[in-house]
């Protein structure tokens, strides 16, 4: 799984809990990973747009404090993709663990 695929999976995982706007998605990724992972604006928003084009997420605009904010939510198709991606990720973890001498 490459970095782009990982970011897509992380975004879907964040949105599985609740709808969020872009900055909150980035903060959730950073917070849940204890600062080890980050989603920079230059990669986050293109990934969100691609996920929306694939109908894995959908968005709507709301006004918050006089500013327009775009909020993203997971679609049913996105939930299925997240489940598939999580399975791929677990297989990859087991494979690396086996090569490294772990139990897997």
Which CATH number does the domain housing residue 89 bear?
A: 1.10.10.10
62: left (phi over 0), alpha (psi -120 to 50) or beta: beta
CA 17 to chain centre: 11
Asked whether the whole model's pTM tops 0.85, one would answer: yes
State pLDDT tens for residues 63-82: 888 999 999 999 999 999 99
Q: Which domain holds residue 32?
A: 3-100
Q: How many domains does the chain have?
A: 1
Taking the chain (104 residues) in runs of 10, the rounded mean pLDDT of each run is: 91 97 96 94 95 98 90 98 95 93 65
CB-based contact 64:71 (threshold 8 Å): no
CB-based contact 57:38 (threshold 8 Å): no
């Amino acid at each position: 799984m490459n970095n782009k695929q990982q970011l897509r999976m992380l975004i879907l995982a964040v949105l599985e809990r609740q709808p969020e706007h872009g900055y909150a998605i980035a903060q959730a990724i950073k917070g849940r990973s204890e600062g080890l992972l980050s989603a920079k604006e230059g990669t986050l928003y293109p990934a969100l747009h691609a996920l929306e084009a694939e109908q894995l997420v959908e968005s709507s605009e709301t006004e918050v404090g006089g500013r327009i904010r775009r909020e993203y939510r997971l679609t049913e198709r996105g939930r299925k993709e997240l489940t598939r991606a999580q399975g791929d990720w677990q297989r990859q973890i087991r494979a690396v663990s086996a090569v490294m001498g772990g139990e897997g």
